[in-house]
Amino acid sequence: MNYEGLIIRATGGFYYVKCGSSVYECRARGIFRKDGISPLVGDLVKISLETELGMVDEILPRKNALVRPPLANLDRLVIISSAVEPPPDTFAIDKLIAIAEYNAIEPIIVFSKVDLSEMDMLTQLYKAAGFKTAAISSTTGEGIKEVAAMISHPGVSAFTGNSGVGKSSLLNKILPLCLEVGVVSKKLGRGRHTTRTVELFEISGTGGECFVADTPGFSSLDILRAQFISKDQLQFAFREFAPFLDSCKYTGCAHVKETGCAVLEAVKSGEIASSRHASYCTLYDEVKDVKDWQLK
């Protein structure tokens, strides 16, 4: 028998594929290893059931894939930054946003621990740039329902944040709002155990299947080290640049310090936040001398 389904868990060479209301334990055919391809959690796949153990026969085309965490077809990346301890790092936030945009993943920016420090300025900065943004406190409950609503749409959401930003606390607050009651008691044990596998948990939502990825505690650095964006593509990873890109005086403008650059004019007029442009310039400087052959 043949089915199409979604890989919701991968561990020890076994893949658990959700097909309708059923989940099948599968192995991957050897052809994937030969071709240097591995099925990922989030992959849509074709499987065959010849015995009790199924086989992953085909990986359907992916819209995106991250190396760390190993996830495919991600729809939303929730970027969590603490208001204090550690303080917010706008460059790290902006680089994660750029990576999400580059991979056609919707970035959602969340500032945690706002009961300890005011974050209105940064919240408004990212909202003005066109991003869904929230300020939350796991202590007071502020903003928790807002974030839950942001991820309660069809597709897969994952959370990233460095140690100490409150990612686990946020997940433990959000999941009871989204998961079925029977799953909550099992899931809330996550703070006492170390997650060793990537797994998708289905949550209640509107208009289709919604999932949250539980990952082995990956930090922002995992993504930052695993993703490269070329200097030519970087400008498109800053969405607020888009209205100005065709108005620069010279074609091939780098938008760093060129005369007649419409992006620089927008920064001067306040239409683009100076901190966002500074992050772009730093990223551009990192990649400007990298040649295509060096990436192979």
Give, as one character, the DSSP assignment of residue 162: -
φ, ψ for residue 108, nearest 5 deg: -125, 125
Same domain for 249 and 123: no
* CA pair distance 249, 24, nearest whole angstrom: 58
Q: Are residues 184 and 119 in the same domain?
A: yes
pLDDT > 90 in the chain, percent: 53
Same domain? For 149 and 288 the reply is no
- Residue 73 tokens read as 């077809």
Total Cβ atoms within 10 A of residue 184: 14
| Average pLDDT for the chain | 85
Using an 8 Å Cβ cutoff, are 200 and 175 in contact? no
End-to-end CA distance of the chain: 40
Same domain flag for 24 and 150: no
Residues 77 and 39 in one domain: no
* Cα separation, 215 vs 204, whole angstroms: 19
Choosing from 60, 77, 95, the residue where a domain stops is 60
The answer to whether residues 11 and 40 belong to one domain is: yes
11 lies in the same domain as 33: yes
Q: Which domain holds residue 28?
A: 2-60
Q: In whole angstroms, what is the distance from residue 172 CA to residue 148 CA?
A: 11
Shared domain for 185 and 273, answered yes or no, is no
Q: How many residues does the chain have?
A: 296
Residues 6 or more apart whose CB falls under 8 angstroms from that of 214 comprise 171, 190, 195, 198, 199, 200, 201
**pLDDT reported for residue 191:** 40
The one-letter amino acid code at 285 reads: D
Residue pair 77/100 in contact (Cβ under 8 Å)? The answer is yes
Q: What is the CATH number of the domain that holds 98?
A: 3.40.50.300
Per-residue model confidence (pLDDT) at position 294: 59
Q: Could you read off the pLDDT of 22-51 as tens digits, one per residue?
A: 999 999 998 888 888 899 999 999 999 978
Identify the domain boundary among 194, 224, 254: 224
Q: What is the CATH number of the domain that holds 22?
A: 2.40.50.140
3-state secondary structure 187-216: HHHHHHCCCCCEEEEEECCCCCCEEEEECC
Are residues 16 and 145 located together in one domain of the fold? Answer: no
pLDDT for residue 229 is more than 50? yes
C-beta neighbour count of 221 within 10 angstroms: 12
pLDDT single digits (tens) 148-180: 999 999 999 998 877 677 677 777 777 765 544
Q: How many domains does the chain have?
A: 3
171, burial (CB in 10 Å: exposed 0-12, middle 13-18, buried 19+): buried
* Domain C-terminal end among 224, 248, 279: 224
Coil, strand or helix at 13? coil
pLDDT tens figures, 216-226: 555 555 566 66
Q: What is the CATH number of the domain that holds 249?
A: 1.10.40.50
Same domain, 26 and 71: no
* pLDDT tens-digit map of 255-265: 999 999 999 99
Cβ-in-10-Å burial (0-12, 13-18, 19+) of 227 comes to middle
CA distance 236 to 141: 35
**Same domain? 257 vs 157:** no
Q: What is the mean pLDDT of residues 229-249?
A: 95
Across residues 4-11, what is the average pLDDT? 94
Say if residues 184 and 175 touch (Cβ distance below 8 Å).
yes
DSSP code per residue over 28-47: E-HHHHHTT----BT-EEEE
Same domain as 216, residue 94: yes
